[in-house]
């Protein structure tokens, strides 16, 4: 898994780079070695919010599919934590859906091979 960390309106320090890398290692379960993970960190400049508002975006490019999560918080580390947690949830849901579809398909093939065609397939 390739991890790329970009910053806008902030400087990426070694501490931030290590923290993001450590947090994104949790995505290793859902992606393979050829996947690319991009973390865009920065300060937002929205006029309707007072104080420093930090934004963390995580993009996962895997097998031609891009998944994106963006979160904002008053602390950069909190924004990273929230975005990472949501990305884990999204990738977990995609993985579960893929496995469920695979199981349903294999059950239909098995039933068809045994001659047990469901009623909805009969005419």
Q: Check residues 11 and 99 and name the one with the higher pLDDT.
A: 11
- In DSSP notation, 5-49 reads EEEESS---HHHHHHHHHHHGGGGGTS-TT-EEEEEEEE---TTS
Whether 112 maps to a domain, the answer reads no
CATH number at residue 36: 3.30.160.100
Whether 15 maps to a domain, the answer reads yes
Give residue 36's pLDDT band: very low, low, confident or very high (50, 70, 90). very high
Which candidate, 43, 52, 49, 55, places its Cα nearest to that of 79? 55
Whether 91 maps to a domain, the answer reads no
State the average pLDDT over residues 74-82: 93
Whether 120 maps to a domain, the answer reads no
Whether 42 maps to a domain, the answer reads yes
Determine the pLDDT at residue 116. 66
Question: Do the Cβ atoms of 40 and 57 come closer than 8 Å?
Answer: yes
Counting every residue written for the chain, the total comes to: 123
State the average pLDDT over residues 15-36: 91
Task: Identify the domain containing residue 54 by its residue range.
Answer: 2-86
Give residue 47's pLDDT band: very low, low, confident or very high (50, 70, 90). low
What percentage of the chain reaches a pLDDT higher than 90?
Answer: 47
Token pair 């508002």 is found at: 53
Q: How many domains does one find in the chain? A: 1
Which candidate, 35, 42, 39, 25, places its Cα nearest to that of 88? 25
Whether 57 maps to a domain, the answer reads yes
Whether 123 maps to a domain, the answer reads no
Whether 78 maps to a domain, the answer reads yes
């Amino acid at each position: 898994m390739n991890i790329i960390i970009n910053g806008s309106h902030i400087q990426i320090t070694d501490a931030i780079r290590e923290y993001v890398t450590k947090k994104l290692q949790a995505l290793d379960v859902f992606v393979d070695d050829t996947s690319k993970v991009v973390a865009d960190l920065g300060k937002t400049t929205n006029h309707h919010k007072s104080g420093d508002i930090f934004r963390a975006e995580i993009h996962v490019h895997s097998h031609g599919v891009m998944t994106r999560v963006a979160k904002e918080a008053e602390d950069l580390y909190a924004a990273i934590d929230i975005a990472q947690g949501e990305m884990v949830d999204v990738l977990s849901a995609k993985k579960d859906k893929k496995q469920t579809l695979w199981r349903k398909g294999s059950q239909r093939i098995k039933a068809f091979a045994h001659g047990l065609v469901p009623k909805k397939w009969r005419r």
